[in-house]
Amino acid sequence: MNSFGFEIQKDNTIEYDKNDLSLAAFVLKHEPSLYNCIQCGSCSGSCPASAISSYQFRKMQLLMRRGEIKNLREDVAHCLLCGKCILVCPRGVNTRNVIRQIRIALNMN
Amino acid sequence: MKFNLFVLPFTIGLVVLFCILIAKYVRWFLNLNPEQRDSVKKNFLTIKTLSGLKEILLESLLHRNISKKNRLLGYMHMSLAFGWFLLIIVGHFESYSYFKTAMEPPYIPIFLRYFQQDALADPLQVVYWFVMDFLLLFVLSGVALAWYKRQNQKRFGMRKTTRHLPADRVALSVLWLIFPLRLLAESITSALYGGGSFLTSGLGSLLENNIATNLSFVASWWAYSISLGLFFICLPFSRYMHIPTEVILIMLRNWGATKYSGKIDGITQFEVHSCSSCGICLDSCQLMELGHSNIQSPYLFRNFRANRLTDQEVQNCLMCGRCETACVVGIKTNSARQAIRHNSSAEVNHDYLRHVDTSFNSSPDVLYFAGCMTHLTPGIKKSMQTIFKAAKINYALADEDRNICCGRPMMLSGLADQAAAMVNKNKELFEKSGARTLVTSCPICYKVFREEYNLDIEVIHHTQYIDRLMKEGKLDLVKSEEHVAYHDPCELGRSSGIYDEPRNIINSLANLNETPANRELALCCGGSIANIILTSHEKKELALSALEKIVPQNTETLVTACPLCKKTFVSTGKSLKIIDIAELVAENLTVGQTSRKFGKFQKVESASI
């Protein structure tokens, strides 16, 4: 088959009823500033880890809040904790504590 | 043999105390790392031991540092420590003069008035009685002041004093009881058997008719002995552990063995147990303003000792180092906190850093590492580039499109081991460049490059670098009439000791208005990456409050030397020109030296970033 340079994407159904939302609830409880997130992506835009790896804070927290936490452990391990994302966040989300709370919830600390 | 049952509580307490102390100290000594142990061995038989002993006299007994803070507070501590020490020493001499042997059991000199009730022909006895009464009065004045301080700490120069755990309260109460009970026992003895000097004999004659009986005589000596025994048993489990531990810490410090390894080791234990929870550092903590009043260093160390640490004490700290400056014992609070935060098992995956390209196209003399925070305040980076060009320096940017964090934020979070991947990658980058000098704009990076990287090339902050360029006459600058204030960043000032270079630069470019909160007393901007707990609102509140204290009247501009401080201050929205020192220099370059003249009153980069 000819390759046209694009592929068929897999269905992306978010199974809110089946997904595990407890982790998101834990993180939001301990760092409620994440509720303020407007998904602008400034964090990922400034992130030195995002520039050279697949890690993106915006995507990671979005997936977490949907309960799609399969790759969360691997994602959060990429963070360098440099704190640029905190400084650029227009909504004052304490991103570093979000990372820390995820790490606590996943027993990574 | 001189013996009475009442000496048992004291003797048992003393034996238990020594057993516990020896067990603890041996364990902590074994926990010193090889480097620390070597410097103890190397310096043990040198003049350093003598200077250590002198410091013990000045600090542990005379409490010179506390007296510098507040004379009344200093007197209170001195009268308790030095007075008690002299009571013991003079008591031993007195006992020797009566019994002509130094091999008496330890309780004899302590309860000497019980064992030597009769007056002797020796005229020295009257002198001893007078001296001992005088010393007891000296100690009692300290106890009275200590009691008064609990109610009126403001009189002692302290706005806040520490809140104690139950164990500490018990020990405190017992300590306060010891000397009044001694006075009572000796006075009753004097009433019944004579002897004593102005204090005990005076009080004795008042008690003679009703209180001084054989029963109260025995009871008072028992009570005195029990209070001593109880205090000794409480000591290793309360804040009074600082009394013996500080002595050892001072010796270790003089032997040069107090370099932190970053983990909880013997030194951490000695330092943490040397904290007396005196609370002198509390007033320096800016988090008090936000109502966080249970997370300061004394609480961290206390809860560490009691094995009841919570996340709040460990993480909720700016690590600005103000408490370290205030500490009269000289405990390295920041290093101790970092050791307590240390977590070698935390899981990270920084394998992707392998793919970062560290090759260089040019061979620069000077490498400029802007740092993450400078990338978020590009005005600083542009100004540095302007300065490099004006001074015709062969420089290169180390982290323009492949910036990796320096690793310090991760280390401050306790993940020092995990930061190694970043450290190695950056080292590789610096070494491949072939540069001889590494200039950085961020004091956070500066500190870590200097202290943790073990680099062969010179590491220098841009304030030092610009100062050097100016001294070499490479920059053609004009002085303006602007009135500016300078804010010392924590990591550059207190942490790295760089105070003069930025002032040299500013003095030759503008009129510097010094603020009272400068140099080692500088305030934290509130943006510290060491604190992961504070909300953005709280950080802003801290920044606004700091600005209010930092900026003197008639000041148009606040100059700082840290991109994080600048960013934090600017984002408060305060109508004040806030710039980095590099921007000030770039603004004041003559037109001939720069094609990009900054508008003087444009509020340029500060407002737009």
Half-sphere exposure of B605 (CA within 13 A, CB side): 24
pLDDT of residue A1: 63
CA distance B354 to chain A (A): 10
Would you place residue B170 in the very low, low, confident or very high pLDDT band (cuts 50, 70, 90)? very high
Are both B318 and B379 inside the same structural domain? no
Asked if A83 lies within 8 A of B409 by C-beta distance, the reply is yes
Q: Which of A3-17, B161-175, B208-222 has the lowest mean pLDDT?
A: A3-17
pLDDT of residue B594: 60
Would you place residue B233 in the very low, low, confident or very high pLDDT band (cuts 50, 70, 90)? very high
Are both B324 and B364 inside the same structural domain? no
Which residues are B161's β-sheet partners?
none
Within a domain: residue B44?
A: no
Are both B440 and B557 inside the same structural domain? no
Q: Calculate mean pLDDT across residues B162-185.
A: 92
Q: Calculate mean pLDDT across residues B403-415.
A: 92
> Nearest chain A Cα to B400, which residue?
A48
Are both B593 and B544 inside the same structural domain? yes
**Which chain A positions have a beta carbon within 8 Å of B377's beta carbon?**
none
In whole angstroms, give the CA distance from residue B248 to residue B304: 19
Q: What is the pLDDT of residues A11-56, one digit of tens each?
A: 888 888 899 999 999 999 999 999 999 999 999 999 999 988 889 9
> B589: which DSSP letter?
B
Q: Calculate mean pLDDT across residues B104-124.
A: 85
Name the domain count of chain B. 4
> Nearest chain A Cα to B565, which residue?
A87
Instruction: Give the residue from B437, B466, B495 where a domain finishes.
Output: B466
pLDDT of residue B593: 66
Q: Is A71 on the interface with B (CB under 8 A)?
A: no
Asked if A94 lies within 8 A of B346 by C-beta distance, the reply is no
pLDDT of residue B605: 44
CA angle at residue B560 from B373 to A97, to 5 degrees? 35
> Nearest chain A Cα to B346, which residue?
A109
> Nearest chain A Cα to B413, which residue?
A81
Within a domain: residue B162?
A: yes
Are both B232 and B97 inside the same structural domain? yes
Structure tokens at B312: 């709040």
Give yes or no for a contact between B55 and B41, defined as CB atoms under 8 angstroms apart: no
Helices (H), B306-416: 311-315, 322-326, 333-341, 372-375, 378-390, 408-412
Are both B254 and B227 inside the same structural domain? no
Asked if residue B602 has pLDDT above 50, the reply is: no
Q: What is the pLDDT of residues B510-563, one digit of tens each?
A: 999 998 889 999 999 999 999 999 999 999 999 999 999 999 888 889 999 999
Residues with Cβ < 8 Å from B27, sequence gap 6 or more?
Answer: none
CATH number of the domain residue B483 falls in = 3.40.50
Are both B502 and B589 inside the same structural domain? yes
Q: Which sign, positive or negative, has the C-alpha torsion B505, B510, B516, B517? A: negative
Give yes or no for a contact between B581 and B505, defined as CB atoms under 8 angstroms apart: yes
Helix H or strand E segment including B559: strand B557-560
Within a domain: residue B24?
A: no
Percent of chain B with pLDDT over 90: 75
pLDDT of residue B164: 86
pLDDT of residue B226: 96
Within a domain: residue B30?
A: no
Within a domain: residue B22?
A: no
| Local structure of B133: helix, strand or coil | helix
In whole angstroms, give the CA distance from residue B328 to residue A91: 41
In whole angstroms, give the CA distance from residue B461 to residue B445: 9
Q: Is A96 on the interface with B (CB under 8 A)?
A: yes
Are both B72 and B218 inside the same structural domain? yes
Q: Calculate mean pLDDT across residues A52-65.
A: 93
Q: Which of B349, B404, B422 sits opposite A74 (nearest CB)?
A: B349
pLDDT of residue B595: 47
Would you place residue B592 in the very low, low, confident or very high pLDDT band (cuts 50, 70, 90)? low
Q: Is A30 on the interface with B (CB under 8 A)?
A: no
Within a domain: residue B61?
A: no
Domains and CATH numbers, chain A: 22-105 (1.10.1060.10)
> Nearest chain B Cα to A46, which residue?
B376
Q: Calculate mean pLDDT across residues B116-122.
A: 78
Number of A:B CB contacts under 8 A? 82
CA distance B111 to chain A (A): 55
Q: Calculate mean pLDDT across residues B424-453.
A: 93
Q: Is A1 on the interface with B (CB under 8 A)?
A: no
Structure tokens at B334: 């920041």
> B44: which DSSP letter?
T
Report which of B425, B426, B454, B428 is spatially closest to residue B442, judged by C-alpha positions. B426
Asked if B353 lies within 8 A of A52 by C-beta distance, the reply is yes
Mean of the per-residue pLDDT values of chain B: 91
Are both B377 and B427 inside the same structural domain? yes
In whole angstroms, give the CA distance from residue B22 to residue B25: 5
Are both B395 and B487 inside the same structural domain? no
Within a domain: residue B559?
A: yes
Q: Is A82 on the interface with B (CB under 8 A)?
A: yes
Structure tokens at A78: 């990429």
Asked if B376 lies within 8 A of A77 by C-beta distance, the reply is no
Please give the residue range of the domain that contains residue B212: 66-237
SS3 percent helix, strand, coil of chain B, rounded to 5, is 60, 5, 35
CATH number of the domain residue B288 falls in = 1.10.1060.10
> Nearest chain A Cα to B411, which residue?
A81
Instruction: Give the residue from B406, B433, B466 where a domain finishes.
Output: B466
pLDDT of residue B600: 43
Query: B104 versus B286: which is more confidently predicted?
Result: B286
Q: From residue B148, how far is each of A20, B145, B156, B171 by CA, in Å?
A: 58, 5, 10, 17
Are both B86 and B222 inside the same structural domain? yes
Tell me the residue length of chain B.
Answer: 609
Percent of chain A with pLDDT over 70: 99
Within a domain: residue B45?
A: no
Give yes or no for a contact between B183 and B120, defined as CB atoms under 8 angstroms apart: no
Asked if residue B597 has pLDDT above 50, the reply is: no
pLDDT of residue A109: 80
Percent of chain B with pLDDT over 70: 97
Q: Which amino acid appears at position A95 of this protein?
A: T
pLDDT of residue B607: 39
**Which chain A positions have a beta carbon within 8 Å of B534's beta carbon?**
94
Asked if B537 lies within 8 A of A78 by C-beta distance, the reply is no
Q: What is the pLDDT of residues B460-488, one digit of tens each?
A: 999 999 999 999 999 999 999 899 999 99
Instruction: Give the residue from B186, B210, B237 where a domain finishes.
Output: B237
Asked if residue B604 has pLDDT above 50, the reply is: no
CA distance B599 to chain A (A): 26
The alpha carbon torsion through B171, B20, B76, B296 (nearest 10 deg) reads -80
Asked if A77 lies within 8 A of B348 by C-beta distance, the reply is yes
Are both B233 and B313 inside the same structural domain? no
**Which chain A positions have a beta carbon within 8 Å of B527's beta carbon?**
87
What string of H, E and C letters represents the secondary structure of B248-282? HHHHHHHCCCCCCCCCCCHHHHHHHHHCCCCCCCH
Asked if A82 lies within 8 A of B567 by C-beta distance, the reply is no
